[in-house]
Chains A and B, each alone.
Chain A
Amino acid sequence: MGVLRPRLLRWPLDVVEGLDRGGPMSQRSRIKRVEDGSRVPPQPDSARDPAPEPSVVVTAITRELQRSGGEHLAGDVFSRRPALAGQADHVLGLQRAVGNAALGRRLRPSPLTSGVTGVPTIQRVLSPDDQTALAAQLHKAMQGLGTDEEAVFSALQKLNKNATDAAALKAAYRAAYSTALEDDLRSEMSGSELALALELLGEGGTAVGGPPAGPADINATVTRLEAAFAGLGTDEEAVYACLIPFGRDAAQLASLKSAYASKSGSDLEADIKSEMSSDELAYALYLLNAPAPLPPTADVTVVKPGTEAHAGALAGGKVSVRTGVDFDVGSTPYPGGFAVGYEGGLATDSGWIQFLWSEIVATQSDGTAAHVAQGGLPTTNGTMELTADPADPKRVVDSASVGSPFYEAGGVDIRTPSSTTLYDRPSEFADIMTKQFDAGATKAVERDHFDQFLVRDYKTIYHTSVTVEWVYTSKTAVTRTTTAGAAGEVTEMPKAFRSVLTAQYPKSEYIQ
């Protein structure tokens, strides 16, 4: 176990001290104060919480781990603060639920002391909504002609071979579809596919091991991958079984790619692409390249929830688009924004990818209307171009992260173990709008077109849209309206969007 460096220790201890004092402050305000770097003021004894709220600790520890690159040991925080020790199990459960592989790896019981081997240690706590969503995913995968085996695997891997969760899933499946999950699996699959599915369901098997504990495990995985690719055809299930235990831990997967390149002399991702296609490829690339689930966070304080402009349902969850939302980011108010959220099962495996294109139409002095063209416009993540021809929209992925296309990876959001909601309040290109009047325009209209796609694992499952319009009738007279547009379930991301996504984020090729 490494030595905790004082520089890294101070921040989470501030959190812990604040939590010890507890008091009437909301969870949100506690987090905010910690993020602001200010200490939580002492509270009277009567206001003390009997126990800190674990989710706050999870957030604080997760962020510290992210900042420290995993060097910081959350266990040390517990050891330094005995008052939190009783919360450790709960915290671990929650943290595992949100899937932070780095923390899970740090905190997992040692195989030497626990006597447990061969079981993935990044545990999840599956809720009833999770089970409902998983059952629906499995049923859909086995409905009709043919079977989407990869959808089956991606659902069952979330059980982590946990017998309790497997039993709950079987019950949920039987309750929803009046048939036994195992029977359906045996009816739809065979051979190595069935074997992997049953193993993930906890029905025996040893192909899927625990997270790699060191170089020896990594090298063994490389050998198994080489064997899976050897000869005619590819043993796809063996590839999945190799990659599932990594839990989308980017650091561990980087080690695997490096070891694979050293031993085989070729690139693992390239070999996967040359050996697999369609759903198989998407699932394998998802296991290899998808970002790890994000921890709970609350970047905004909702002041006014606004009006629900769209309400949709998915198995085990619901989608909501709200307009006229007032929210604060720190001390900055964002009035009249919009929010797009998913609440329900498998929320930790779901995220929003938002696309944007903008157009400005200026009414010229002769009464004609013309689109305004301009490229190279700075955004908080690169540049964008105004669309001059609406038939050819110049879309961008609206993410602040260099490595992840998901809005939640950098934009403001509220994320809990059972929901993920993005908050947005775009601003117009005011300088370009006002400049049109200098050039003789009598009116200028900007429209920002947003499309949001809910992606779960490697599949796109829901689409919503929002348009924000600003109308300038002079340099200073402006009105703004926000309108929710088309929305509904989808089975894939439309090509026009996916091409933008993969061009901007090549590692997102796994998203269908």
Chain B
Amino acid sequence: MRLAEPFQERRAEVITGSVRIDGAAADATRVLVVSGDAQRLLGSALTEPDGSFAVAVDERPVHLVVKLQGPLIGIVTTRLDPDHDEATPIDVAIDTTSGRFHPVTGHFTGQPRPPFVLLSIDPVRLDGVNPELGRFFNRRDQRVVEASFFSAQVTGSQFELVAQAGQYRIRAGYVVKARPVLPETPVDVVVAKVVLADGEVDLAGDAASGFDLYVTGPARLRLTLAPTHP
């Protein structure tokens, strides 16, 4: 006969805290809680207008992953040790003037010019962030994964962002879901070439997979649009 193991009640503790960017409350910012071994997503929350958040989890240690999804782009992580007291709120203060964040500007050239360009940027590896956590960068919660970490419709010819130092994949285009089917097929447009304007360096990559952007300082990009089927 097997003896029953002592009953242990698993207590769901609530991790609370707040996110502030340059001293201001960060509203609607995604906060993930990932297991200490960086293998499992345990919880997810959006910050309130005052920057506060609360996530119920029942294990320690955990990683807190704060996603900055534009126009300030980056990932800030904090590890909570097993002895973390749930009564102690976690305050995540982000200082964009600390040298970890840099302006990234882009200018679209080429033809044809669609009504807008859907720009998407995905972090690959960021300075100061455990690479193991990379698999969660695009997670929203346990049910949803985001197609892009950051995406925006650019209606003009330029965009300006601020990005954390690190490696990103950038792509853009106007790929039309032909809805409904029309007598004339619309023309798809993609960014076929990205050049780091300072030094005229072509970024590695292609339109389908994206281009590798390494942010180490201020970056000026020139993105060339081209039709997918000339």
Contacts and interface: CB of A to CB of B under 8 A. Distances in A.
Interface of A: 35, 299, 329-330, 332, 334, 337, 354, 356, 358, 360, 362, 364-366, 368, 370-381, 383-384, 386, 388-389, 396, 398-400, 407, 410-412, 422-427, 429, 431-432, 434-436, 438-440
B177 interface: yes
Given A388-B140, A438-B209, A373 B182 contact: no
Given A375-B151, A378-B116, A439 B145 contact: yes
A323 to B, nearest CB: 15
Contacts of B153: 376, 383
B181 A423 contact: yes
B174 interface: yes
A399 B180 CA distance: 6
B174 A380 contact: no
A370 B145 contact: yes
Given A35-B183, A362-B145, A431-B175, 17 more contacts: A358-B177, A373-B144, A373-B146, A376-B151, A376-B153, A378-B118, A378-B174, A378-B176, A379-B178, A379-B179, A383-B153, A388-B144, A389-B144, A411-B182, A424-B180, A424-B181, A440-B135
B143 interface: yes
B178 A426 contact: yes
A371 B179 contact: no
B181 A432 contact: no
B180 A378 contact: no
Contact of B138 (A299, A384, A439): A439
A334 B118 contact: no
B148 interface: yes
A396 B180 CA distance: 11
Given A373-B146, A431-B175, A299 B183 contact: yes
Contacts of B184: 330
A432 B147 contact: yes
A51 to B, nearest CB: 28
A412 B183 contact: yes
Q: Contact size class for B?
A: 35 or more
A313 to B, nearest CB: 26
A374 B118 CA distance: 11
Interface centre among A334, A377, A386, A438 (most CB of B within 10 A): A377
Interface string B67-79: 0000000000000
Contacts of A434: 208
Nearest to A423: B181
B114 interface: yes
Contacts of A398: 179-180
A299 B180 CA distance: 13
B180 A373 contact: no
Interface in B79-122: 114-116, 118
A158 to B, nearest CB: 28
Interface of B: 39, 114-116, 118, 135, 138-140, 142-148, 151-153, 173-186, 208-209
A88 B151 CA distance: 57
Contacts, number: 117
A429 B145 contact: no
Contact of A378 (B114, B146, B148): B114
A412 B145 contact: no
Interface centre among A35, A379, A386, A422 (most CB of B within 10 A): A379
A324 to B, nearest CB: 16
A380 B179 contact: yes
A372 B145 contact: yes
Contacts of B142: 368, 370
B177 A427 contact: yes
Kindly list the 8 A-B residue pairs having the minimum CB-CB distance in the complex, ordered from nearest.
Answer: A411-B180, A374-B147, A379-B179, A370-B145, A388-B144, A379-B177, A378-B176, A432-B147
A263 B186 CA distance: 45
Contacts of B39: 366
8 contacts: A329-B182, A362-B145, A365-B135, A380-B176, A383-B153, A384-B177, A412-B181, A412-B182
Contacts of A423: 181
Given A370-B144, A371-B145, A426 B179 contact: yes
Interface centre among B118, B148, B181 (most CB of A within 10 A): B181
Contacts of A366: 39
A358 B179 CA distance: 11
Contacts of B180: 354, 380-381, 398-400, 407, 410-412, 422, 424
Contacts of B185: 329, 332
A205 to B, nearest CB: 43
B108 to A, nearest CB: 15
B183 A329 contact: yes
Contacts of B177: 358, 377-380, 384, 426-427, 429
A411 B180 CA distance: 5
B173 to A, nearest CB: 8
Given A330-B183, A374-B151, A412-B182, A364 B175 contact: no
B180 to A, nearest CB: 3
Contacts of A411: 180-182
Interface centre among B145, B173, B176, B183 (most CB of A within 10 A): B145
Contacts of A439: 138, 145
Nearest to B152: A376
A374 B146 contact: yes
Nearest to B180: A411
A371 to B, nearest CB: 5
Contacts of B208: 431, 434
Contacts of A35: 183
Nearest to B115: A378
A395 to B, nearest CB: 12
A432 B116 CA distance: 18
Nearest to B117: A378
B92 to A, nearest CB: 23
B148 A374 contact: yes
B182 A380 contact: yes
Given A378-B175, A379-B176, A364 B181 contact: no
B207 to A, nearest CB: 9
A381 B179 contact: yes
